[in-house]
Amino acid sequence: MLNIKSISTLLLLASSSLLVAARPGEYPTDKDPIDKKPKPKPAPFCGTCNPISGKNHCDITTSCINTGKRFHCACRAGFKASKDNYDIYKQFRLPFKNFEFLVFTPEYTECDILCDDNTKPANELCQEVPLYKHCEHKPRFSCSSLTREVGSYVLGYSDLFFPTILNTLLALFVCNGELVGTAG
């Protein structure tokens, strides 16, 4: 027969094993975090291009243009790069005054898909592609690298000397007024 001692030992062992197997109710996991607040996503990378003729890799369906502080490959008016309007790695629009209708792409990106309603007036084109106000950019081009390239073209007399110099001088003019060789 079972005596009190053996019954209490069995109950103790059974309850101990249940406690070990039990999991607390608020245990954090990746699927169910404790704070339940959405974490802010980092700003997306918006592709830039090098404005020097022959040095940028914008697709033939785009042009490398200045948007104030950076250079981006711009699609022709009324065109976009992808049917997936929210894919920032393929296309994006910027709050570039009077040019919000332009869709921009990273280098090597073809831009040959018509926007949803390409018969609208210019200021209403390609509204289906989101406007990104806070794009990060991978530093691919800087004004200091541009001044180094200008120096190498001027001293090396490249085959494309005059067109390259004209494009480069225009790009330098846009680089926040930085002058080549000026002391800070």
Same domain, 126 and 155: no
Q: What is the pLDDT of residue 81?
A: 95
Same domain, 153 and 121: no
Single out the residue of 130, 80, 126 nearest to residue 105, CA to CA. 80
Query: Within a 13 Å sphere around the CA of 180, how many CA atoms are in the beta-carbon half?
Result: 15
Q: What is the pLDDT of residue 61?
A: 95
Same domain, 163 and 117: no
Query: Has residue 32 been placed in a domain?
Result: no
Query: Within a 13 Å sphere around the CA of 58, how many CA atoms are in the beta-carbon half?
Result: 25
* Domain span at 128: 42-138
Same domain, 90 and 153: no
Query: Has residue 118 been placed in a domain?
Result: yes
Amino acid present at 96: F
> How big is the CA angle at 60 (ends 57 and 64), to the nearest 5 degrees?
55
Report mean pLDDT in 10-residue bins for the chain, 184 residues. Answer: 62 50 49 55 71 88 89 94 90 87 93 92 90 64 49 44 48 43 32
Same domain, 126 and 88: yes
Q: What is the pLDDT of residue 34?
A: 56
For residues 103 and 129, give the distance between their C-alpha atoms in angstroms, rounded to a whole number: 7
Q: What is the pLDDT of residue 75?
A: 96
What is the per-residue DSSP string for 107-143? Answer: TT----EE-TTTTS-GGGTTTTSPBPSS-B------H
Q: What is the pLDDT of residue 83?
A: 94
Same domain, 49 and 134: yes
Same domain, 112 and 95: yes
Same domain, 149 and 127: no
Same domain, 85 and 130: yes
Sequence-separated (6 or more) residues with CB below 8 Å from residue 64: 49, 50, 51, 56, 58, 71, 72, 73, 74
Same domain, 150 and 118: no
- Split into its structural domains, the chain has a count of 2
Q: What is the pLDDT of residue 62?
A: 95
Q: What is the pLDDT of residue 44?
A: 58
**Predicted model pTM:** 0.53
* Residue that is written with structure tokens 């494009």 in the block: 167
Q: What is the pLDDT of residue 174?
A: 46
